[in-house]
Structure 1
Amino acid sequence: MPRIATIIATGHYHPERCISNAELAERFTALGKPEVIGKFEAASGIRQRYYAPDDWATSDLALPAAHQALQRAGRRPEDVDLIILGTDSPDYVTPATSTVLQEKLGAKRAGTFDVVCACASFPTALASAAGFIATNPAINTVLVIGAYMMRKLADPTDPMVFFYGDGAGAAVVEPSDKPGFIGTTMKADGAYADAWGIYSGGTAEPATKESVESGRTQVRLMKRYPPEINEDGWPELFERLANENEFTVDDVDQVIFTQVNKRTVETVADKIGLPREKAHTIMETYGYTGSACIPMALDDAIQHGKIKSGDLVVMIGSGVGYNQAATAVRMP
């Protein structure tokens, strides 16, 4: 009997403190950049975002999302066999944030690993979970999480902080003999590895007093990403995934894209012939939550009745580096 990975429950979490665009506009007006917030709002559709307490780490965001997903699944932390956590804003360079979460969650039996593909992390992690379930009879409950706190790794005077919101999303994945996980496809281009990132603190450039003072241990946009990376790349991924798994855009009930720019989502939906109402967005409310945005949007769509039992859902993520991944699932 086949062991097909199936999402049996989802959850998401955002902190309590809401940061409006008006609040950020005051900050950047004082910094002599009054036009920044209005320009970014018009381009992205983001109206607000949420910040966690300053003493929280990424694992603290992941914990309530994990608890919610497990509770909805009727599972306990000690039932979890494997935790896969996607983030590019880890608690530490090492150890893995998933190990920190495992301890906080009390999932004593679970193995763990991190996926570091930025916004492509969740569809990549979901595909990884499907592979483990298909090939390992002892793995029956996998907790897949995306979590993001890039705001704490940014210079608060950098206009790019407009985009960053804190949050986490989670899914409980278990084997079934009915359609669940359908397939995945991926794409990358390391030529853009120097475009956006944190460039000091690893082995290429260990952190020094000078690199800290110059801001190289903080996240920075170094050069502009061409919009066609997503506007052409996402349709290409969708077409490949659909062709490889024998479905069409008319078969799809929702496509969840990386939640950074509403205009891009609408452009891509139009290109692939997807009605815009089938491309659920949350960036208006939660800002850009990076590695967490796809599972957060997935759970939000489920809670709003936009994704129901039997629906075919495609998730397409695009992360710095760059990584891109598209994964299709049939909801149980």
Structure 2
Amino acid sequence: MKYACVKSSGVYVPEEELPNSVLQQRFSDNPDFVEKMAQKSGIYTRWRAPKNFATSDMAAKAGEKAIAAAGLKPEDISIVIVGTDSPDYITPSTSVITAHKLGAKNAGTFDVGCACSSFPSAFSIASGLMAANTSYKYILVIGAYLMSRFADEKDIMSFFYGDGAGAVVLEAKDTPGFIASSFLSDGSYAMDWGIYAGGTVEPASSEAIAAGRTQVKMLNKYPPSVNEDGWPKIVNELAERGNFELSDVSLFIFTQVRKRTIEKVMQKLEIPWEKTHCVMEKWGYTGSACIPMALHDALEEKKAKTGDLVVLVGSGVGYNQAGTAFRL
């Protein structure tokens, strides 16, 4: 059997910065809001893609870097998977457009759309494809996020949204690689946070646009237990299924939405803080892209090396949660 192994990674961060100081002016009628949110979330800035960019442009930029870092050509890629909940279009898929922009002319493509758990979900799917199909040698897995385009700048939740993309090239090898996956969901939260017009429930219309229903909205806050209990559950399931101890893990990466939540989860798992990595301080919350971006940054900082055990846990609206464990 073949195992999916991380061969390389890459990120795309836009050039235009939107720091908290700008948001303090924007929300001047609520002067304490930005500072309070920064303290809770750990977010101090975020970046904005050029106006002429779509999600596929960012995905292609990150993919190009990962492919180059792997010493490969776009034609070497067997499959391009894009995980996002800010697609270019409802249809066609963002992945097929991304592959075309990359020049990955030999690749099949598909999207994974389970919000901010999309990347670990896509990683697990790619691993299964490699195990079952010996012809797939290289799969490009990308997480990309351009939710700022769906946000009302006057909405205080726009504090979170940063644009960006992260990617990994997976290589099929005889030794692990991919070890285990775990998934959780609860659709009773589906109407708490999302974009509720533009699909089949309510197609886009002038009325929906005028009412702001084609924009991303948080209608209800998720209870802290969703992540504070859900993430440890996923981590423990990964350890059980992968037959490893938590102390064996060199690097834990969680969805980069709230630093305090990561702190609580690491304490609950009784794992030293040094074994996780955060990037929200410099890139904001990049949703579907935040896990591969954090992984790339951690690898750049030498927080894990070849042979080390890594755990990724993503959590997104719906809610969807997913985790994957693998050796570098």
Normalising to structure 1: TM-score of the pair?
0.98
Task: Compute the displacement of 1:292 (Å).
Answer: 0.2
Partners of 2:18 and 2:63 in 1: how far apart? 24
Partners of 1:164 and 1:105 in 2: how far apart? 26
Partners of 1:3 and 1:280 in 2: how far apart? 29
> Stretches of 4+ moved more than 4 A in 1?
none
Any residues of structure 2 matched to 1:264-275 within 5 Å, and which? 264-275=261-272
Give the match for residue 24 of structure 2: 25
Offset from partner CA, 1:2-39 (integer Å, 9 cap, x none):
2111111111110011111001111111xx23232112
1:13 to 2:33 alignment: no
Give the match for residue 311 of structure 2: 314
Write the letter of the residue equivalent to 1:218. Answer: Q
Give the match for residue 256 of structure 2: 259
SS in 2 for 1:235: helix
Offset from partner CA, 1:65-124 (integer Å, 9 cap, x none):
101100111111011110010000001111100011011111111100000011111110
Offset from partner CA, 1:141-182 (integer Å, 9 cap, x none):
100000001001111110111000001000001111111000
Give the match for residue 45 of structure 2: 48
Q: Please, which runs of 5 or more residues in structure 2 have no aligned partner?
A: none
Write the letter of the residue equivalent to 1:104. Answer: K
Any residues of structure 2 matched to 1:98-137 within 5 Å, and which? 98-137=95-134
Partners of 1:175 and 1:56 in 2: how far apart? 32
Partners of 1:274 and 1:281 in 2: how far apart? 15
1:231 to 2:239 alignment: no
Candidates 197, 201, 220, aligned match of 1:200:
197
Partners of 2:252 and 2:121 in 1: how far apart? 16
SS in 2 for 1:232: helix
Partners of 1:36 and 1:93 in 2: how far apart? 34
Partners of 2:138 and 2:96 in 1: how far apart? 17
Write the letter of the residue equivalent to 1:11. Answer: G
Candidates 206, 227, 243, aligned match of 1:209:
206
Aligned residues: 328
Give the match for residue 189 of structure 1: 186
SS in 1 for 2:200: coil
Give the match for residue 3 of structure 2: 4
Offset from partner CA, 1:298-321 (integer Å, 9 cap, x none):
000000111111110000000100
Offset from partner CA, 1:219-248 (integer Å, 9 cap, x none):
000101001100011011111110111111
Partners of 1:76 and 1:34 in 2: how far apart? 50
Give the match for residue 305 of structure 1: 302
Give the match for residue 170 of structure 1: 167
Partners of 2:272 and 2:81 in 1: how far apart? 32
SS in 1 for 2:27: helix
Write the letter of the residue equivalent to 2:302. Answer: G
Partners of 2:298 and 2:220 in 1: how far apart? 33
Write the letter of the residue equivalent to 1:56. Answer: F
Q: Please, which runs of 5 or more residues in structure 1 have no aligned partner?
A: none
**Cα-Cα RMSD:** 0.8
